Structure 1
Amino acid sequence: MSRFAEAKQKFRGSIAPIVTPFNEDNSIDFKSFENLINWHIENGTHGISVTGTTGEPSSLTVEERVQVMEAAVKTINGRVPFIPGTGSTNHEETLYLTKKAQEIGADGAMVIVPYYNKPSQHALYKHFKAVADSVDIPIIIYNIPGRTATNLQVGTLAKLSKDCPNIIGVKESNKDFEHINRVLHECGRDFLLYSGIELLCFPMLAIGGAGHISATANIVPDKVAEIYDAWNEGDVQRAQDLHFELMELNDVLFKDTNPAPLKAAMGMMGTIKPILRLPMDLPTQELQDEVREVLNKYVELPDGVVSK
């Protein structure tokens, strides 16, 4: 079995996108970060990703992104696959971070569609092909048009999957379910398709998806992982029940830009300090109160922990 075929077997389930915790002085809280990774693995998370959207990569320097990846590799220690986000709006920076991911021992890399630039499909093809050609690790493309203002079209993705053996999957944070269906139709049924939209985690499994990369895993990693486990074991009813059980939590976590409500919730849980770097910030107090009300239905909140 080739290395990339093996990755297609291993990179399945709930790949949790870990937040980047900060201290009061805005430095990275590596202790909390390590604790989060261990907590995820103990609660059934199938893989770990860092410095994706939920990890606030645009608020980190390139050096900090490398430090976060290095800390994750050390903490995970081969227990589950590690697929860090290495994409950027800058091509050379993306090349550097993706090569660095390979150098430090990451199992793969997740590379976002460049944001703000709004490149053409031809330019996107050249960008992703150059990144894939620069390394010998599996690449997961990350398509999130709501944040990048550019949609990677199915035809472009299909051409990349055929021309680059190490481009083995895509995270689709795309509400166009017709587009998502056509990804597997055009790229092949063995192409790894992950949901980045919380309410599509279960539906994507039904059409042959490989799993999900859901921010909600930072709150209830066991339940998010169990959606995949139940489906994989043939317990469709359990997977469906979990899908609807988590709906209210999923909804409230995205009433403001991710990861603002998420970090507020994690602050209430006591797993991190509820701090974002500007220009991101915590939600309004009104929304934080709503987050707390919903969160109380899913987890037992410790006494004396406040989100402000």
Structure 2
Amino acid sequence: MAFEEAKERFRGSIAPVITPFNEDESIDFEKFKELINWQIASGSHGISVTGTSGEPSSMSIEERIQVMETACKTVNGRVPFIPGTGSTNHQETLRMTKAAQEMGADAAMVIVPYYNKPNQHALYQHFKQVADSVDIPIILYNIPGRTAVNLEAFTIARLAEDCPNIIGVKESNKDFEHVNKVLLKCGRNFNLYSGIEVLCYPMLAIGGAGHISATANVAPREVAEVYNRWDRGDVKSAQDLHYELMPLNDVLFRDTNPAPAKAALGMMGKIKPILRKPLDVPSLEIQNEIREVLLDYQLITEDVEI
């Protein structure tokens, strides 16, 4: 796929699907496939796995690749498939990104290495080598709250200029001035995705390509519809839905993602709400808050218990 064509195709709500586990913390692949099919049936414009919501740092490299392969086969070309292939380890990132290409992924999303705190030149070298190692599109993933370093706009622009297959960036960055500068420096045909729920609509307004929102795990149709309404020019209706989703967005981040989303999906009967250590389920207080919000959104009924 030509990279300019990919920019046009990879627009909308790309759902960052969680990884369901069994009681023994093994991966529940059947539930995983059910979640992906539900996402596509609900109107999500793309599927991503093994990103933050998928708990990749709690999985082995072999498990991550197996999850990616299962997702790729389940999606089966119905929508773009964009797995997360980044790691704090450079060689692991290369291995998983090459594996994504080999299995037929449409693109790879590569996170800023976490914990290491590389400088901007080091980040440039890391991402350039990853991009040069494959022929598929690359979407950078900037989440300074998790990585402790920000991928600066000038570094993103340098990468976009030097690597034709770097087509966009997921910005889980509350600094709205920064995300404006990304499009200013990279050009407005560079795909900017919001990874901050409250900024999904505002990023569309400045020229964003869509969003990769954890809330899509719980309300995929509504999160996709924010983009659909904006895309067809129904601005007031898109604004209305943006505000309607805010209570759900808020409660799904009352604890570390994806713990609240998994608790919600458990109440909805979609999965067992199990996380791998060091993560754990939200407190009973937060679970009660989640339950009340899900009731308000009519995603569960009164008889559902925590």
Say whether residues 1:29 and 2:28 are aligned partners: yes
Instruction: Determine the C-alpha separation between the residues in 2 that align with 1:132 and 1:168.
Output: 10
2:224: which partner in 1? 225
Conserved? CA contact 1:270–1:302, under 8 Å: no
Instruction: Determine the C-alpha separation between the residues in 2 that align with 1:30 and 1:208.
Output: 36
Instruction: Determine the C-alpha separation between the residues in 2 that align with 1:244 and 1:222.
Output: 15
Instruction: Determine the C-alpha separation between the residues in 1 that align with 2:76 and 2:158.
Output: 34
SS of 1:296's partner is helix
1:129: which partner in 2? 128
How far apart are 1:266 and its partner, in Å? 0.6
2:3: which partner in 1? 4
SS of 1:203's partner is helix
Say whether residues 1:177 and 2:176 are aligned partners: yes
How far apart are 1:251 and its partner, in Å? 0.4
Cα shift readout 1:119-164 (whole Å, capped 9, x = no counterpart): 0000000000000000000000000000100100001110000000
Q: What is the number of equivalent residue pairs in this alignment?
A: 306
Conserved? CA contact 1:267–1:305, under 8 Å: no
Amino acid at match of 1:11: F
Amino acid at match of 1:88: S
SS of 1:255's partner is coil
Instruction: Determine the C-alpha separation between the residues in 2 that align with 1:272 and 1:197.
Output: 24
SS of 2:272's partner is coil
Alignment of 1:143-162 (within 5 A): 143-162=142-161
In the superposition, relative to structure 1, how do residues 262 and 115 fare at CA in structure 2: closer, same or farther (>3 Å)?
A: same
Instruction: Determine the C-alpha separation between the residues in 2 that align with 1:97 and 1:300.
Output: 36
Runs of 4+ in 1 over 2 A off after TM superposition: 302-307
Amino acid at match of 1:115: Y
Cα shift readout 1:55-77 (whole Å, capped 9, x = no counterpart): 00001110000010010011101
Instruction: Determine the C-alpha separation between the residues in 1 that align with 2:260 and 2:61.
Output: 25
1:107: which partner in 2? 106
SS of 1:16's partner is strand
Cα shift readout 1:9-30 (whole Å, capped 9, x = no counterpart): 1000000000000000100000
Conserved? CA contact 1:154–1:186, under 8 Å: yes
Conserved? CA contact 2:15–2:212, under 8 Å: yes
Instruction: Determine the C-alpha separation between the residues in 1 that align with 2:56 and 2:305.
Output: 26
How far apart are 1:295 and its partner, in Å? 1.2
Conserved? CA contact 1:253–1:291, under 8 Å: yes
Amino acid at match of 2:266: G
1:70: which partner in 2? 69
Instruction: Determine the C-alpha separation between the residues in 1 that align with 2:154 and 2:66.
Output: 36
Comparing 297-306 and 125-134, the one that deviates more: 297-306
Alignment of 1:146-295 (within 5 A): 146-295=145-294
Amino acid at match of 1:163: D
Conserved? CA contact 1:52–1:84, under 8 Å: yes
Cα shift readout 1:170-202 (whole Å, capped 9, x = no counterpart): 000000000000000000110000000000000
Amino acid at match of 1:10: R
**What percentage of residue pairs aligned between the two structures are identical?**
72
After TM superposition, the score normalised by the length of structure 1 is 0.98
SS of 2:27's partner is coil
Amino acid at match of 1:24: E
Instruction: Determine the C-alpha separation between the residues in 1 that align with 2:38 and 2:263.
Output: 18
How far apart are 1:299 and its partner, in Å? 3.0
Instruction: Determine the C-alpha separation between the residues in 1 that align with 2:108 and 2:301.
Output: 36
How far apart are 1:254 and its partner, in Å? 0.4
Instruction: Determine the C-alpha separation between the residues in 2 that align with 1:293 and 1:268.
Output: 11
2:41: which partner in 1? 42
Instruction: Determine the C-alpha separation between the residues in 2 that align with 1:305 and 1:59.
Output: 29
- Unpaired segments ≥5 residues, structure 1: none
How far apart are 1:111 and its partner, in Å? 0.1
Conserved? CA contact 2:295–2:302, under 8 Å: no
